[in-house]
Amino acid sequence: MANTTSSADIVAASEASRQTEGQYLNHAPFQREGFRKTLRILWNVIFHKPRDTRPSAPVPVQTLTRAALIAAPNHSVYRLGHSTVLLKLRDKFWITDPVFAERASPVQWAGPKRFHQPPISLDQLPPIEAVILSHDHYDHLDYQAVLQLADKATYFLTPLGVGETLIKWGIDASKIRQLDWWQDTEVEGIRFIATPSQHFSGRGLFDGNSTLWASWVMIDDSTRIFFSGDSGYFDGFKHIGEQYGPFDLTLMETGAYNVEWPHVHMQPEETLQAHIDLKGRWLLPIHNGTFDLSMHAWYEPFDRILALAWDRSVSITTPQMGEAFNLLYPQRGEAWWLAVEGESERVTAQSA
C-alpha cells in the first residue's frame, strides 16, 4: 500500500487539491479561454503556423541500448524526448511521462508528429521500477506506452484520478499509487512527493479537470530531483523550494509556451525564475525538441533559456536526446540544435 498520509514537514493541509463539482482547481484560479478566443487560437494554429516550428533537418539522437543502460553508473539521467526522462538511481530505472507514440494525439493519423525517434524502444528498455506521471494530456500520457510498460514496470505513480484511467486501461491496481498534492510514497528507498503545479487536465471533450495534475519531488538520500510536469508560473515553486530544496537537478518545462495561454505553460524567463525559486543547482530544460505544440520556432526554447541562464550564472545542461547526464559529474552539453538549422535558415526564418 502507498503511504498517502500528508508529510509532517509540508505546508498547511489547506494546500491539498480542491474540487468543485467534480473538477480539480488550481490554487491560483485563472479564467479559462472563451469560445471566441479558443477559435482564434485554433485558426492561427491551423492556418498561420510559421514554417520554423519544425526542424528542417534531422534532430540528433544518441542511440541507447539495454546493455549500455545496465552498465551505466547510478545518478545517470537521459532525455528520451519531450518530457520523457529516464533516471538510474539505486541500480534501478525510473521514467517520467513516457511518450513513445509517433503523434501526441488521440489518433495516430493526425496531430503533432515527432521530430525524432526515441533513443531506445520500449521493448529494449530495462525493467522500470516506477513510471512517474504528471497528468493525462496526450503528450504526457501515452496509452500504448502504458500498456507496453504494464509488465515491465513495478509501479505507476500518479496524481489523483490518473490512476483510475490506468486501471480502466487494464493496469493492475496493486501497481498504482495515486497521490494528492503534498502526499508522499516510498519506493525502494526513494521518496516521491506529488507537489502542486498550475495546469489543467483532460483527454476528451467532457472530462476536463476530472483528474489532478502535479509536479514531483524525488529524494534519494542526499540527492534531490524536481520534475515540473506542465505548469504556468506560480508561487507554488517557492513553497516547494522552501520545503524540499535545494535540488541537485530540476527537469523544467521550457517549450509549447505562448502569450495566448500564459497561465498553463511558462515562458523561458518564468522557467528560469521557477528554477531559482526551487533553489535548483542544475537546470535541464524539457518539454521541447520533440513535438510542435505552439507557434514559436522549435529551437527558440533552447536559445532563450540558454541565454537567460548564462546571464544569471545558472548552471544549465542541454544534452542531446539519449545523451547521458550524470548528477555526480555534471556537464553543460553542447548547443546541438544550432547544427540542425544552418545559420542562414535561422536568420531567414526569424525575419519571415
Domain segments of the chain as ranges: 59-351
**Cell numbers describing residue 272:** 528560469
Confidence class for position 3, pLDDT limits 50, 70, 90: low
Mean pLDDT of the chain: 92
At 43 the pLDDT is: 64
Question: At a CB cut-off of 8 Å and minimum separation 6, what does 127 contact?
Answer: 92, 93, 152, 153, 154
Question: Residues 318-330: what's their mean pLDDT?
Answer: 97
23-75 pLDDT per residue, tens: 999 998 776 666 566 667 676 776 678 889 999 999 999 999 999 999 999 99
177-214 pLDDT per residue, tens: 999 999 999 999 999 999 999 999 999 988 999 999 99
Residue 239 in this model has a pLDDT that exceeds 70: yes
Residue 268 in this model has a pLDDT that exceeds 70: yes
At 48 the pLDDT is: 73
17 closest CA partner among 238, 199, 166: 199
**Phi and psi torsions of 87, nearest 5°:** -120, 145
At 346 the pLDDT is: 60
Residue 4 in this model has a pLDDT that exceeds 60: no
At 1 the pLDDT is: 45
Residue 85 near residue 251 (C-beta atoms within 8 A): yes
CA-CA distance, 224 to 263, in Å (whole number)?
27
How many CB atoms are located within 10 Å of the residue 160 CB?
21
CATH number, domain 59-351, options 3.90.550.10, 3.30.450.40, 3.30.450.20, 3.60.15.10: 3.60.15.10
Residue 332 in this model has a pLDDT that exceeds 50: yes
Residue 12 in this model has a pLDDT that exceeds 50: no
* CA within 13 Å, CB half, 289: 30
Instruction: Give the start-end residues of each E strand in 228-330.
Output: 247-253, 280-286, 315-316, 324-326
CA-CA distance, 260 to 157, in Å (whole number)?
31
At 202 the pLDDT is: 96
Residue 225 in this model has a pLDDT that exceeds 50: yes
